[in-house]
Amino acid sequence: MLNTDIQWIHVEASSKCNAWCPACPRNKNGFGIADNLIEEDLSIARLVSVLDQLPNLHGIQFCGNFGDPVIANNILDLISVAMKYAKKIQIHTNGSLRSTTWWRELATVLQNVDHDVWFGIDGLAGVHEIYRQGTDYDKVIDNATSFIDAGGVATWQFIPYTHNEHQIRDCLKTSQRLGFRQFKLVKSFRDITEARHYRTGDGFKLLAPKEIKQIIQMPTSKTKVDPVDCMHLTQPGIYLGANGKLSYCCYHHNLQSAEKQFDSLQELLYNNINLDHKQCIFSCGK
């Protein structure tokens, strides 16, 4: 892969977050910050320095790996910079941060660019918060509605588990009523048997829907991963962490090891030739 091949970049605007989702690598199954995590925002200068090296960039995705992009103090500045380099801006958020006024302002900022903001809403009030610990359903809906009413394009993202799958149809209807452009099911096949309450540390289980378990198996050391299965190879892309380091993708940006994090784009692309696919198999194997 050459610099000129790269068409999109996954940008981690911040490693900070207000939520305590048990599957997130920033915490310990939902309770307590993960070891070695440094909470910080990506600098404007670092984003510019990377984007300047990507002449054929099409899309920029602000999506949390360890944090929520909306929590970054400089997120509007980061988005404004991104709009100068890319034709498409996508943002993924839990939606419970900031005020309705701020969300109306974001819609104004994005009005002249192809954009889509994905709100992670995993059920209705009282159920949504089981997985999205620390967030508030009503606040998410208020923020999303303010964004949509101001002209913003939004997607309702739903991760099904056994505790919320009975609300999929109602959530779909609600998304249509509120003006969401799309409703997306993101099927997680992971059973989180050691999930913990974000305040008390008490344990509970998050189980994947039965029909998903039947068709998807956990990858093994013999699992094959084809290039077509990898979104970073299908449409060449890279990952930029909040710490300013570059990685092949967010799954390789590991807190326990810095060996797959690079300062130089050329160093990243050179090392990609000898990429160890064990992490690819575990994360995306089919």
pLDDT digits (tens, 9 = 90+) for 50-109: 999 999 999 999 999 999 999 999 999 999 999 999 999 999 999 999 999 999 999 999
Whether residue 131 has pLDDT greater than 50: yes
- Distances in Å between the Cα of 26 and the Cα atoms of 15, 34, 221 are 8, 5, 26
Q: Which residue has the higher pLDDT, 6 or 192?
A: 6
Among 232, 254, 230, 231, which residue's Cα sits nearest to residue 241?
Answer: 254
Domain extent for 55: 3-284
Read off the pTM. 0.91
In this predicted structure, what is the pLDDT of residue 276? 60
Tell me the three state secondary structure of residue 185. Answer: strand
Domain count within the chain: 1
Written as one letter, the residue type at 21 is C
Read off the tokens for 283.
Answer: 């994360």
pLDDT digits (tens, 9 = 90+) for 158-176: 999 999 999 999 999 999 9
Answer for the pair 92, 120: CB distance below 8 angstroms, yes or no: yes
pLDDT digits (tens, 9 = 90+) for 5-56: 899 999 999 999 999 999 899 999 999 999 999 999 999 999 999 999 999 9
In this predicted structure, what is the pLDDT of residue 230? 72
Whose tokens are 């784009």? That residue is 265
| DSSP alpha helix (H) spans, 187-230 | 210-215
Read off the tokens for 148.
Answer: 């949509």
pLDDT band of 211, cuts 50, 70, 90: low
CATH code of the domain containing 265: 3.20.20.70
